[in-house]
């Protein structure tokens, strides 16, 4: 079982894109989703894991920073 942690901050566009990614992940990957806006006490943990921006996926100590390039149109 691979454990992963998905940090985000609640942006609707990002949540939608994250869902796409989470749906793609293999069944053997257990992903914990952490909303840092709601769980500010976990920001330090994210920083210590190497998270520089959100959304980010941390897997086996490796940080994958995700930037979905949301356009203005997506936000309308």
Chain residues binding a copy of itself by CB under 8 A are 2, 4, 17, 20-21, 24-27, 29, 50, 52-53, 57, 59-60, 62-69
Residue with smaller CB distance to a copy of itself, 26 or 38: 26
Residue with smaller CB distance to a copy of itself, 29 or 33: 29
Which token pair is 50?
Answer: 């190497």
Residue with smaller CB distance to a copy of itself, 20 or 41: 20
Q: In the complex, what is the shortest distance from the CB of residue 64 to a copy of itself, in angstroms, rounded to a whole number?
A: 6
Do residues 35 and 14 lie in contact, with contact meaning Cβ atoms separated by under 8 Å?
Answer: no
Which token pair is 25?
Answer: 């992940």
13 Cβ contact list (under 8 Å, min separation 6): 68, 70, 74, 75
């Amino acid at each position: 079982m691979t454990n992963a942690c998905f940090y985000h901050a609640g942006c609707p566009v990002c949540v939608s894109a994250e869902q796409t990614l989470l749906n793609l992940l293999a069944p053997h990957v257990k992903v914990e989703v952490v909303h840092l806006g709601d769980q500010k006490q976990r920001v330090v943990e994210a920083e210590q894991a190497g998270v520089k921006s959100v959304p980010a996926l941390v897997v086996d100590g490796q940080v994958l920073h995700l930037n979905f390039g949301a356009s203005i149109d997506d936000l309308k």
